[in-house]
Amino acid sequence: MRNFVRLQLVAKVTYYFGWIALVCGGLVHFRVVGPLFDAMNLTKRNLFEASVVCFLICMASELRALVPDKNEVSSGALAEQKQGSVLCAVIPNRALLSRNEKLQKPGCRSVSS
């Protein structure tokens, strides 16, 4: 879970840096703060490229956060195998099933009520 939180943090930070760079590029374009950024040797193109790169990193981090980590998947499968017989929740679906039928995952034993 730490990997997921870290990737989302990277995505949020780069997202906001991208917007800041884009707003600064707009201010330079409209010559509001031109001399300030000229003194730092930042052009409109540099600011635009920085914003695009930040948005790309943001999207990549968000997409990577959605994919489960190999360690998380394998540790979850090992824990399930160690338990042996896994009890699964029975989920009734009133629209599709009759009163006595129950929807259950294959390979799971149900708990008698």
Overall number of domains in the chain: 1
Q: One digit per residue, pLDDT tens: the chain, 113 residues? A: 688 888 899 999 999 999 999 999 899 888 888 788 888 888 889 999 999 999 999 999 999 988 876 766 555 554 555 554 444 454 544 454 454 455 555 555 555 54
pLDDT at 113 (0 to 100): 47
Does residue 87 form part of some domain?
no
Q: 17 is in which domain, residue-wise?
A: 2-81
The answer to whether 48 touches 70, Cβ cutoff 8 Å, is no
Does residue 14 form part of some domain?
yes
- Reduced to 3 states (helix: H, G, I; strand: E, B; else coil), residue 103 is strand
The answer to whether 51 touches 22, Cβ cutoff 8 Å, is yes
Does residue 33 form part of some domain?
yes
Query: Which pTM value belongs to this model?
Result: 0.56
Distance CA 10, CA 22 (A): 18
